[in-house]
Structures are given as C-alpha cells and as structure tokens.
Structure 1
Amino acid sequence: MKTKFLFLPLFLLLFSCEVEGDLTRDPIPVVIDQPNSVVNYQGVFSPTSGINGSGIVKIYLENNQYKLALENYSISSGPDLKVYLSKSNTPTDFVNLGNLNASTVYSIPQSVDLKDYKYVLIHCQQYNHLFAVAELIKN
C-alpha cells in the first residue's frame, strides 16, 4: 500500500510543469512595419562562457508601442530559453518577453520604462543559466 502513495507525488511532480504559464508561453507573433518604425535602442549579443552565439537586438518604436527584434541571431541550443529585458547584465530584475524564437518580434509592455532596462538577456529559465547578454545603446 505504501508504494502506491510514493508514486502519486512523483507522478504529480512530473506532469505539473506541462501547463504553460506567463513565464513559459510563446509570445504572440508581432510584425514590425519597417518604414513606419524608428530604432531607439540596439545592442550586440555576447555569449557567456561555453556558449556559442551572436546577433543584434533592436528596439523599435512604432505607433507608441516598443517592439524588440532579434536580427542575424544564432545561439547554442538549450532548453527553456527566454528573452528577458533586464535592469542588469544578470537575471535579477527583469521582464520576461517570452520564449526565444529568432524569427519573433516581442512586444514590450507599456508599463516598462526602457530608461531603466539597459540589457537584453537570453536565459535558460529551467536551469537558471545565462546564455547571452546585449547591452542596449540609445540611438
């Protein structure tokens, strides 16, 4: 009888992570209207130790909405990679923009003051490992 009770908590633990929440949901696809957009910030990604990666991040202003786009981006594969807009070059105070997808443009919430967020991070949320950092420079 005891063995049945041991499997129930293990079963619940294994399947409790399948539901997507705010931190694991894919971003809703967004398009940038290039002729009507202005690049306000940009940066170049630097990979962390043991990671291969490169690319550019640009933040556009379009119709009073900021959007973040990755350009010519590649990185070592990893599980549960997220795009963070961060106040520092470490994932301590950040806004999670969604799952990493090189062909995706991310909408930045209206409540975010970009003057406070100086970095874009690629971070493995599952294992708490930083993959790449880009410092944003205002144009």
Structure 2
Amino acid sequence: MRSKTLRSKTWIMKLKNLLLLFSTVFFSSCMNEDDMDTTMDKDDMEMSADMDEDQMTMYMGEFVSDAHPTSGKVNVNTNKNILEFSDFKSDDGPLLEVYLATDTKASEFITLGELKGLEGDYEYDLPDNVDFEEYQYVLIWCVDFSVNFGYAKIE
C-alpha cells in the first residue's frame, strides 16, 4: 500500500514538472524577437534622458485655503503651456481670477483669466516663457476685495 502511494506521488511530481516545462516552452515561443531585445540604441537613450529632464522640470502643488476653503491639485504640463487643476474646489465670490504670483499677496502677478468653475478639473493656457522659479504661486484671487481665497505653491 505504501509503495502504491509513493508511486502516485512520484507520478504527480513528474506530471507537474512536465506541465511546468511545457508552459515555459509554450509561452516563450509566443514571444517574438523584438520582445526579447532589451538593448537600447543611442536615440532611445537620448529620448529617455529628454523625458527624464521634462519630468524633472514639471511643476506641481496642492491648494490650501486662505480666506475661503480651497482644495485640489495643480500642475504645469511638460511643455509648460498649460496649467491643470484637478479635484479643485473653492467657494464662490465676486470676480475670482487665477493668478500666477511671486507671493500669496499678489505683489507681482500674471492673470490667467477668470476662474472657470468652483469644482472640478480645469485647464488654463500659460503665456510663453513663464519663470516658475519666480512665479511660484497659483492664487484664486477675488479682484473686487483683493482677497486670496486659496493658493498652491508649485515646485
């Protein structure tokens, strides 16, 4: 009886090994040579370096409340021509505008126009050649009362 159980276990182990070998051969035969070639040519390496550089220069931040509850995320796309709001939310007010500013008091600013909405995802066109080392703040600014509803520091 014991010998029969031992033979069954041996047979099952051989079957498992055979299935493993078969599946390895089967799946590796499905791959083409392009999938297996992992070397990068010079152009691929330069493109990868350019992408890394673009990602390093991308600016982003999170809104924090100032005079009114304000939240969400903001980022500048890699081409630096679009300012993107995501999951944005703020209170309503008279004439709210989006500013790029040097500080939270809007001492020096670039207006991107009126706030497009109080809740959601929005995009604003950026002027050419904005210096984001100088204009580090995105403000939700109430023009009528000169009040900062909320801001994000983009880094």
| Range of TM-score over shorter length | 0.5 to 0.7
Matches within 5 A, 1:45-60: 45-49=63-67, 51-60=68-77
Instruction: Please state which structure has a larger fraction of its residues in helix.
Output: 2
RMSD: 1.8
Q: Which residue of 2 aligns with 1:70?
A: 85
Alpha-carbon deviation of 1:40?
0.5
* CA displacement 1:54-110 (0-9 Å, x = unmatched): 111111123xx4210110001011110000001112111000001111443111111
TM, length-normalised to structure 1: 0.64
1:118 maps to 2:102: no
SS, match of residue 61 in structure 1: coil
2:78 to 57, 61, 80: 61
**Mapped partners of 1:129, 1:77: distance in 2:** 12
**Mapped partners of 1:130, 1:53: distance in 2:** 10
Query: For the Cα contact (< 8 Å) 2:104–2:148, is it kept in 1?
Result: no
Which one has more relative contact order, counting CA pairs under 8 Å at least 6 apart?
A: 1
Percent of aligned pairs with the same amino acid: 30
Q: How many residues align?
A: 98
TM, length-normalised to structure 2: 0.58
1:100 maps to 2:118: no
**Of the two, which has the highest radius of gyration?**
2
**Mapped partners of 1:57, 1:99: distance in 2:** 16
User: Gapped runs of 5+ residues in structure 1?
Assistant: 1-36
What amino acid is aligned across from residue 86 of structure 2 in structure 1? Answer: E
* CA displacement 1:6-29 (0-9 Å, x = unmatched): xxxxxxxxxxxxxxxxxxxxxxxx
